[in-house]
Chains A and B, each alone.
Chain A
Amino acid sequence: MTNDLTRLSASDLASALAAEEVSSVEATQAHLDRITAVDGDVHAFLHVASEEALETAARVDARRAAGEEVHPLAGVPIAVKDVVVTKGLPTTAGSKILENWVPPYDATLVERIKAAGLPILGKTNMDEFAMGSSTEHSAFGNTKNPWDLERIPGGSGGGSAAAVAAFEAPLAIGTDTGGSIRQPGAVTGTVGVKPTYGGVSRYGLIAMASSLDQAGPVTRTVLDAALLHELIGGHDPHDSTSIDEPVPGVVEAARQGASGDLAGLRVGVVKELSGEGYQAGVSARFDESLEQLRALGAEVVEVSCPSFAYALDAYYLIMPAEASSNLAKFDGMRFGLRVEPAEGPVTAERVMSATRGAGFGDEVKRRVILGTYALSAGYYDAYYGSAQKVRTLIQRDFAAAFAKADVLVSPTAPTTAFKFGEKLDDPLAMYLNDIATIPANLAGVPGMSVPNGLSDDGLPVGFQILAPAKADDRMYRVGAALEAALESRWGGPLLSQAPDLKTTELAR
């Protein structure tokens, strides 16, 4: 029974909980057991909060037993990326510099999760400060791809994607600055959504690049993503970039999409996000999915976004520039790691320097140095200034494209999961993983990755759907329709084709 519970979608588990066929304590324990069984290999979690999760579960069960009205997702366990601050639970952002730091406050989205009664299973692994596409930049070891333990789970949110793919959690929170939700979703065969910028509060997200960061759902189904999106989304007075409007009707759109009718919908294929550089199997699955959408009644058109050619360049100026400033606070003065210089006087400046030298990994240092340089007097206009202009051009490209199409589509990532170490010494190759996901962050538009099959190497491929800002519901409609059609063709979810993980015998 317990093993079956971990296979349920969040939506199905929520129904079983509501019908009191199963308790939240049982469901939570089942997932904790699964974590114990497989996470030694997968290493999706940096911290497992068994006690707190079971307490929450028991409280929800009691409330339900008392006949209280509870949130539809109450009692459904969830994993949270370690870049999101959780009161009382260690939060490291994958960095030595925050090792053992326990935040005194909750991120807004965590407050909402707690208020709705979702037991938090633990904190998931990630590239340090969300900088990376493979989770190899975590200071606390690699997370493995449940499809092949030799391969990366994507990044930066490899932990959340792997946790969901390995059935350690039905739901997880990710954050996406350049693709950190969507690319791991693609390479692990899971669903990942980056909402419209401002759609989910950033209060309590340890910032990498403030103008690009966005939290969102990591799940196994489109409907589950919508349910979680609706829970964590919406205006937050603590985040002045938060949109002061109701969350688009994403759950409704997901349900409607699952009925499979896309008649009248215009799907735009972005010319610049396909072809050269994309693995053959990735391109093949993409073309098949387009056919599928046509079969559901959609009209497929080609659109061109010429400025996307500069997106990666602009991104790698704006993101490090903002990151260099956001990460300045990690200095050993108030919280986290503090390292005193090995020799010489112990001054504040020297402690800051020693702490940052010891506490940050290479990729973080690389980006801080890049960003510091890009913002320096005399270079600002050429680098940061120009990048902002490119950003405007990309927004215009999106506006023009959305005049011709209701949603835009592309492969989520150019390749399937690569092997550990393959791109670690080649930052540029690593950065290219995000070529298709970055434009959405630069423009603030929402994006989703839906599993759309296996490539020739037997590894999952993702299909990216982009919608105009504040029209997140559109991509849920399309995503759910494609998911339903593909699953009926495959005879079940893609993840059921994943190899079984070796389980460690439970000592209980």
Chain B
Amino acid sequence: MTAATTTGLVSYEDAVRRYDPVLGIEVHVELGTRTKMFCAAEVEFGGEPNTQVTPVSLGLPGALPVVNGKAVEYAIRIGLALNCTIAESCRFARKNYFYPDVPKNFQTSQYDEPIAYDGWIDVELEDGAVFRVEIERAHMEEDAGKNTHVGGATGRIHGAEYSLVDYNRAGIPLVEIVTRPIEGAGERAPEVARAYVQTLRDIFRTLGVSEARMERGNVRADVNLSLRTSPDAPLGTRTETKNVNSFRSIERAVRYEVSRQAGVLDAGLPVIQETRHFHEDDGSTSSGRVKSDAEDYRYFPEPDLVPVAPSREWVEEIRASLPELPVARRRRLQTEWGYADAEMRDVVNAGAVDLIEATIAAGTSAAGARKWWMGELARRAKQDEVALEDLSVTPAQIAQLQSLVESGRINDKIARQVLDGVLAGEGDPEAVVVARGLEVVSDDGALLAAIDDALAAQPDIVEKVRGGNQGPVGAIIGAVMKATKGQADAKRVRELVLDRIGR
């Protein structure tokens, strides 16, 4: 057993009080191109094993790679979105190592000549604080195949009777994004790590370069972490926790490593530079293989490929076609909508930005749209334990509902009944109002009869109001509303009641 596993964990709070964590994150994103990085094999999730292959992606003798132009375009998009410089010319390299899921026994990757480098991205934390992460590089490479170990208890290679390899994934284009050391996050390191990957995920989706579905492994993160005694001290020895594949896990992995490394350092032992595995069940990490200088990938420029040299015109064309990125869009929308910082933050955290934007586009005021999505609809989503966007009501229907309220055809209370109807699949709000007969009663004749009944029933209140105290008038109005099943126009009722009493 290594020393590291025998030392205890230090509580996270204690650890970050005494140590300064430094992060480094490598994110791999599978590009959503139609075909693979170096051949015409189709890329589709969930195909029968070894059906999406060509001689190239199987590494058959004689096969040669050809660079997928769409993948290069996507890599440039990512690079530009991350404020990187795009290389005028860059080469692929071979990373040589023997492993059955790597068909050629080398991975074609970029080594010392990434397509994009020297960038940054602003990451917004949940409380609205902005943290800038510097990007060292974004480079292109190909994915490996997938091993399945059969037999044995754990599904791991040890104890397995045999292993199956599916090369459908082999050769799928990847972009790997590597940060510079992320310093200064302090106790918020787990949050920063999570928010960074989340930001990238949102960017990939906005750029349309990947479906970026974490659960399918479209986005995979390796988290490097080291501790030092103070922000002025040199960087400590880092560990690399591989394949942390959900946002929550990223946060947990960082917390665990902070606690674990603090324990190691407290015991006066050195942190061992190694890769570590993350365990979803208990949030811990365990030692993988030790990274040492002995690991030698014998990189050399890929002689089967000519350099990729994106013309400046093309790069500028791509830059001009980039969609607005999530953070910039949120800032613009907040200004347009006039929401306070806290309001906007709540909207973002609730995942309501798109819904509110669409509702506003359908004619509702910014305040009206927020009232619905962050109020009644948020309540119902929580009650049903679904995401807002999964409620069976569209922004257009909410816009219609609000316009019914604003035109006075229904009141707020009735509006909630109309919403019930919409959610129950009874159609648009207009249709529900008609079908359920929920239109506001504003016919004075019908109202006066109900008012006279109410006045007659509560003479004491009538007296108080006549005496100049308008407070209790609500009791009369309430009775009228009750008598009209809530469909009366409350404002008109008030006017008529006061008129009747003679005030």
Contacts and interface: CB of A to CB of B under 8 A. Distances in A.
A237 interface: yes
Contacts of B98: 328, 331, 349, 352
B298 A98 contact: no
Interface string A168-202: 00000000000000000000000000000000001
Nearest to A93: B61
A335 B59 CA distance: 10
A376 B304 CA distance: 20
B307 to A, nearest CB: 10
A335 B304 contact: no
A333 B105 CA distance: 10
Contacts of B60: 85, 103-105, 334-335
Contact of A376 (B59, B66, B163, B296): B296
Contacts of A240: 64-67, 304-306
A331 B105 contact: yes
A348 B100 contact: yes
B105 A329 contact: yes
A384 B66 CA distance: 24
Nearest to A378: B296
Given A104-B55, A321-B300, A331-B98, A203 B61 contact: no
A377 B105 contact: no
A318 to B, nearest CB: 9
Contact of A328 (B63, B104, B163): B104
B414 interface: no
Given A240-B305, A329-B103, A103 B66 contact: no
B296 A377 contact: yes
B64 A322 contact: no
Given A93-B61, A238-B66, A329-B105, A210 B300 contact: no
A321 B96 CA distance: 11
A352 to B, nearest CB: 6
A440 to B, nearest CB: 17
A36 interface: no
A204 interface: yes
B299 to A, nearest CB: 8
Interface string B308-331: 000000000000000000000000
B62 A328 contact: no
Contact of B62 (A204, A330, A352): A204
Contacts of A328: 96, 98, 104-106
A305 interface: no
Nearest to B147: A348
B476 to A, nearest CB: 85
Interface string A204-236: 111101110000000000000000000000000
A400 B357 CA distance: 67
A204 B305 CA distance: 15
Contacts of A207: 61-62, 304
A325 B58 contact: no
A325 B55 contact: no
B64 A239 contact: yes
Contacts of A321: 300
A454 B163 CA distance: 60
A206 B298 contact: no
B300 A380 contact: yes
B296 A206 contact: no
Given A241-B304, A348-B163, A352-B98, A206 B65 contact: no
B268 interface: no
B160 to A, nearest CB: 10
A206 B63 CA distance: 8
A278 to B, nearest CB: 32
Interface in A315-349: 321-322, 324-325, 328-331, 333-335, 348-349
B298 A376 contact: yes
Contacts of A5: none
A416 interface: no
Given A211-B303, A328-B96, A349-B98, A334 B298 contact: no
Given A211-B303, A325-B96, A375-B300, A203 B64 contact: yes
A378 to B, nearest CB: 9
Interface string B163-198: 101000000000000000000000000000000000
Contacts of A377: 293, 296, 298
A380 B93 CA distance: 14
A91 interface: yes
Contacts of B306: 240-241
Nearest to A372: B298
B66 A237 contact: yes
Contacts of A322: 300, 303
B94 interface: yes
Given A376-B298, A377-B293, A329 B62 contact: no
Interface of A: 84-85, 91, 93, 98, 101, 103-105, 107, 202-207, 209-211, 237-241, 321-322, 324-325, 328-331, 333-335, 348-349, 352, 372, 375-377, 380, 384
- 8 closest Cβ pairs, A-B complex: A328-B105, A210-B303, A375-B298, A211-B303, A204-B62, A85-B62, A206-B61, A377-B296
Given A241-B305, A329-B105, A334-B58, 17 more contacts: A101-B61, A105-B55, A203-B62, A203-B63, A205-B62, A211-B303, A238-B66, A239-B66, A240-B305, A325-B106, A328-B104, A329-B59, A329-B103, A334-B59, A348-B99, A372-B298, A375-B299
26 contacts: A85-B62, A101-B61, A103-B60, A105-B60, A107-B62, A202-B304, A203-B62, A207-B61, A210-B303, A210-B304, A237-B66, A238-B66, A239-B64, A325-B94, A325-B106, A325-B298, A328-B104, A329-B104, A333-B100, A335-B60, A348-B163, A349-B98, A375-B298, A376-B298, A377-B298, A384-B300
